[in-house]
Amino acid sequence: MAQSGSAGLLQRQLKAMQLAKDLPGISCGLVNDNVYEWEVMLMISDDCKYYGGGNFRCHLAFPTSYPHMPPSLTFKGHIPFHPNVYSNGALCISILHPPEEDQYGYESAAERWSPVQTPETILLSVISLLRSPSTEGPANVEAAMLLREEQEKGNKVFTRRCRSIVRATLEDY
């Protein structure tokens, strides 16, 4: 019963996103007709400082306990060089962490997953994170370190690494 309820909800949410006119740069579809697995394309607008013009392919995997538990998002293909993205493409963002107290005390329960989140709010948060990378509690320590150095000293090593990956995403199309 829970599986069919979550499947119906995901079907409705996918349809709403596909019909939405106010979600430029986000395209979603099912993987192998499985409503619990979505392929997502994030086409980042040119005005984004580090990732502008990039086309990032992602996999959004929902548990059958959705919306009570969060999905996971993994970048596929060209993975953004980003403080909040692990080298395997897994995204580390508070809203995708289970709805419980953080055992390490970095996040409050209010910052973590809540059933009011939707695939749309998740993907908009991902785009926001690409626009404004966070160096706190990084998944990619090297990216966080280079971003901090760039912000403090003005070198462009972080920007060059990001732009190189953006160019690679464009070669795929």
Active-site option among 28, 58, 92, 162: 92
What pLDDT does 10 receive? Answer: 97
Rama region for 32: left / alpha / beta (φ>0; ψ in -120 to 50; rest): left
What pLDDT does 70 receive? Answer: 96
What pLDDT does 4 receive? Answer: 75
Question: Has 92 been annotated as catalytic?
Answer: yes
Among residues 172, 171, 130, 135, which one has the least CA distance to residue 152? Answer: 135
What pLDDT does 12 receive? Answer: 96
Which CATH fold topology does 2-171 show?
A: Ubiquitin Conjugating Enzyme (3.10.110)
Asked whether the whole model's pTM tops 0.85, one would answer yes
What pLDDT does 37 receive? Answer: 98
- DSSP three-state, residue 16: helix
Cβ atoms within 10 A of the Cβ of 80, count? 27
What pLDDT does 99 receive? Answer: 80
For the chain, give every domain's residue range: 2-171
Show the low-confidence residues of the chain (pLDDT under 70): 1-3, 101-110, 173
